Amino acid sequence: QTRMDSKKKKKKKKSPLRLLLIDTKKAYFNAIPLRDVYMRLPGELLLSKDVVGKQTRCVDGTRDAGMLWEETCRIALDKIGFKTGLANPCLFNHGDYNMQAVVHGGDLTFLGAADRLDWIAEELKKVFDIKVRGRLGIGRADDEIKILNRLVKIDERGLPFEADPRH
């Protein structure tokens, strides 16, 4: 449950590991389409049915949205020192800060020392509209968080998760 902080190798201070769960609000809108995409506009606008809108941002449901969001997120993480996993492009590692990340759609999960998690949350706020869903770690008051319609808990056995019974 602890790891050596790579920036403080001389002191050999161990920091407790924590999980940080972040939700990127309207994640797909952060990506810019690479092709011209047009859509019908809502009837509430009282425009002619012949009028369409050209997307300047990706929208949920378009073919490119997921791919372009992943690329937008990868670029943002790369700029602050994360490297994309070789086997899986949704996994990231920050070697200097000894931190790992998983991206699943607009949900980002980070594993690292508490001060590093504070840092990553602040860095992401500069780029995206995010909501910190919470943190998990042994010795914290938070013992469960709902993410991706799952209840994730932490206990002495590890990180069991189960389907959210409220759904």
Residue 83 CA to residue 86 CA, distance in Å, equals: 9
In this model, does residue 56 exceed pLDDT 50?
Answer: yes
Strand order in the sheet with 161-163: 144-147, 150-153, 161-163
In this model, does residue 2 exceed pLDDT 50?
Answer: no
In this model, does residue 91 exceed pLDDT 80?
Answer: yes
Q: pLDDT at position 101, please?
A: 95
Mean of per-residue pLDDT scores for the chain: 83
Read off the pLDDT of residues 105-156 as tens digits, 9 standing for 90 and up. Answer: 889 999 998 889 999 999 999 999 999 988 888 777 667 777 767 777 777 7
Residue 118 CA to residue 113 CA, distance in Å, equals: 9
* pTM of the model as a whole: 0.79
Give, as one character, the DSSP assignment of residue 155.
B
In this model, does residue 75 exceed pLDDT 50?
Answer: yes
